[in-house]
Amino acid sequence: MTAEIETHLFETTKRVLEGDLAKHQQISCKAIKPTDQQRLANTATPISYDLSLKINLPGYGVDFAEEEALKTSGCVEIKIYVPNATNYLELHAKNLDLKRIALRNETIERFLHAEFNTEGKVALGDGEIIENGHYSLLIDFTGCVSNGLGGLYQAHFKGKNGEDRILATTQMCPMDCRTMVPSFDEPAYKATWKLSILHPNQSRSISNGAEEKIIDVPGLSNWKLTIFTETPKMSSYLLALVICDFHSIEARTQRGTLFRVFSQEGTSKQAEYALHAGIKSLECYEKLFGIPFPLGKQDMIAIPDFSFGAMENWGLVTYRETALLLDPEIGTSLEKTRVAGIIAHELAHQWFGNLVTMEFWDDVWLNEGFATFITYFGKEAIDPNFRIWEHFLDFVQSIAFNVDSLASAHPLSFKADSLQKIEESFDILTYRKGASVINMIMNTISKENFFKGLQNYLKKYAYSNAVSNDLWTEFGRYSEIDFGEISFEDFARQWTSQIGFPLLTVEKQSPGKFSISQRRFYLSKTLNPKYPEDSFDTKWHIPVFYKNGNEEKLEILAPNDTLNVETNDGQFPIVNFGAKSFIRVSYGDDGWEEILKRIKNDEFDVITRAKMINDLFACAREGAIKYKTALRFDELISIETEVLPFTQLINGLLDVHKRFTNEPAQALIKKALKHLLNPLLDGISFDEIIRLDRETITSFKAHYFLQLIEAECQVDREGNAGRYLNEFRKNVLQPTESGAMASEGSRVGPLLRQLIYTTAIFVGNDEDFDKTWALYLKETNQAERNKLLSAVCSSKNLEKIRWILRKSVDIQNREIRQQDIKIVFAAFNQNSVTNGKLLELFFEEFDFIYKNLSTSPRELNDVVIGCLDTLTIQQVQMVQKFLEQHPEVKEIGAFEKQLVSAEAELDWKRRFAGEITEFYEKRTTE
């Protein structure tokens, strides 16, 4: 750093510290105002940001007056290019007070006036024309560290002595950079960022770039100035900053990249697995993408309050604590898999999303779907025993099918022309269907050609932006598949622009001869009115992978064609073996009978038979086959010991059981399922489950046993009450009576804790509840804390449920973190006693809920989804009336999605209840 630059920096620092942000003379510019459209008017392009920011963060060696605590003051110099003469500049600033705005170049200095709109856009001008050319835009501003979960915000945690503490952190995605610093806050406006952060001297500052210099500011012994290296060109939503005093562990990758993991004091041991997983992922992606990681360091940090699961900020990835930290003593294999997956996902973004970024939020799927898919290669690098593609079917494909078959579904790529649509684009469908379509494309053009195209794409658009078709063009260069009259790009575009997916029906025409045809698979009776182009008649060009005996084939099925197959052995061809395409397959009632026999003969691999069973129950639910055809597959329960197909089977049967809650038919289903499960439960040892779960390679057997026990509890929770309640009181409550936390004192095996805790509180008394709540408040291990929170949400006492609901949505109450609202309502939904009463609670507590969460759309959506999970006809009508009376909430997307889901559920019961009841009446008398 030269003496001249250092002197300038100290002058800027002093000015910011002393609050010398004198407001310039206001200029009247009535003609200047922001445009009405969603996106910025292209009046200027940012080239670089030079940001100096002072953050008044209490608790780190500086005392602040109440009115000054958690305030920020700063100045930013944005170097811009103005492409065409204009009378104003348009950018973003929200919840900021702009003090001085100057526009400079070599010949002029002008002071500009600001006009804001409610969306965070601001127009800057002085009534005169700004000619095209390069300028420096200098803005002095003040703001605050917010109490929400976006922009620059406060995260609360307990210190080592139990005291309340605060750190400052950021979550800029999708549109909150504008709340910390004036900026061109859209993905296409990439620029470099240079940060100089003034913070109390007992804290440290972490950002995207490495710490270039940490300076004790002359005359200000209680402050530090941390100067960071300049970032590469990147979008504003990737900017990250944390002020804290967390500890870190570190290592280096094979190429020498510094890798650090930050977490609260005393949790370094829990960060070790993340460090291992992060390095393995980064090294894997460097080889996979053919591009070295472009920054000198990669940091990851566990944030106590965090809305998303994690955020891929370039060089500084932020995580929820449970998404990054893993206690080596009590962490389960499932938690290990989850941590590995989230880390692999975020680090995949360092290339796919950060190096190359979607042009606008219309193509969020291009970031998130691709990262979700590539995650599985990263996970395999972390631990080859994960059996990653089994996880892919269970946690990606099957979930995508469920959401994409309803009228609330949307295309992967759609016009995000409102804040609501941008928020909604970060949904399950975007991540899961996006990954599933990418997986299908890789299988179609081959893994080798796929990664050739991907490497070309990343190199061509590095440090720039792209749209879906840019990726398709690169894949198309390497595709050797004949798509008939359409190009590869047209083929791929069908899957991102059209809603839904196909059902392939395999029909026997004559001995050994079969036809394969397509139609849309659909669970709803209506279409999504937001997308008028949507149609029940939608069709696709489909890659059809099938087996004729042992011979594997791939053919493209055009929209209006039928594929004819003649098999060598006369049996049905096995379509979509290995779950390679994003399709469902039905063999008709007679064909499924043959498939059942062949599964019993162990003809199919784990993934293929799991996908078959998943398709089977979906086809029954849609009406493509008779329900009794699917229910007869319960014969496999006694012979299927692989956890993936067993999970699909038991979930299909339990789904039917759940739909008859509190109805006479449920007793018949319960009797039949207990008859099937009881012989398998004999001799299962809790100790054996815990032993198997210690190693990844044996954990799948542990998961199979856990599935059996959980199924038993779902079918007959009360019947198992005594065992689990005694286990809980003896091995959790008693060992913690002397003051130990549950994570320290619980003698219940880690993999069984959630099941035992939840069941115990469901059948326990108020004393059990109160003791568990006290353990929750005391607990510092966030994973264990989540288990305890889910447990107390299982109480049958409706007033206890109301009490927890109010605590969870009260932003002034920090006993339940705002980030954990989703955990609360997911647990409420599993509570068979209170589930049906949640809507009534929602109506009664709505004013309180909305008052607290109206500015937190993500959390408000979680509450709506939770309270409207299972609705009767009368309740659907109540919700519709509620929406008429409360127009302010009609824009909350969760209402529409839940009503669509409820309509599908009610239609299901009208169509299938009689057939299912008849089946189980016969089954229970056999």
Owner of token pair 């002397």: 738
- Left, alpha or beta for 465 (phi > 0: left; psi -120 to 50: alpha)? beta
CA dihedral 374, 376, 382, 388 (to 10 degrees): -170
β-bridge mates for residue 114, sequence order: 124
| R_g of the chain computed on alpha carbons | 29
Catalytic residue (choose from 335, 346, 622, 859): 346
Owner of token pair 């110099």: 77
Token code pair at residue 607: 């993934």
Contacts of 715 (CB under 8 A, 6+ apart): 654, 657, 670, 673, 674, 677
Closest CA to 189 of 76, 40, 50, 296: 40
d(CA 672, CA 667): 9
Closest CA to 166 of 70, 262, 295: 70
d(CA 84, CA 837): 60
d(CA 318, CA 115): 34
Residue 645 to residues 111, 432, 599, 650, 651, Cα–Cα distance (Å):
68, 20, 11, 9, 10
Give binding residues as ranges. 345, 349, 368
Q: Is 18 known to be catalytic?
A: no
CA 749 to chain CA mean position, Å: 28
Token code pair at residue 25: 């003379």
d(CA 621, CA 651): 13
Closest CA to 148 of 192, 215, 89, 94: 94
Contacts of 246 (CB under 8 A, 6+ apart): 167, 204, 262, 263, 264, 265, 301, 302
Contacts of 279 (CB under 8 A, 6+ apart): 251, 253, 259
Strands across the sheet containing 551-557: 551-557, 542-548, 574-575
β-bridge mates for residue 808, sequence order: none
Max CA separation in the chain (angstroms):
94
Secondary structure of the chain: what % helix, strand, coil (to 5)?
A: 45, 20, 35
d(CA 393, CA 645): 10
Contacts of 660 (CB under 8 A, 6+ apart): 666, 669, 913, 916
Helix (H) or strand (E) run with residue 878 in it: helix 873-885
Token code pair at residue 255: 């190429």
Q: Which 8-state DSSP code applies to residue 352? A: B
Give binding residues for Zn(2+) as ranges. 345, 349, 368
d(CA 853, CA 857): 7
Strands across the sheet containing 258-263: 247-252, 258-263, 297-303, 316-320, 310-311
Token code pair at residue 618: 């979906």
Closest CA to 432 of 459, 402, 452: 402
d(CA 521, CA 904): 13
Owner of token pair 């991907």: 454
User: Are 101 and 29 in contact, with CB atoms under 8 Å apart?
Assistant: no
Contacts of 549 (CB under 8 A, 6+ apart): 567, 568, 569
The residues annotated with a catalytic role in the active site are 346
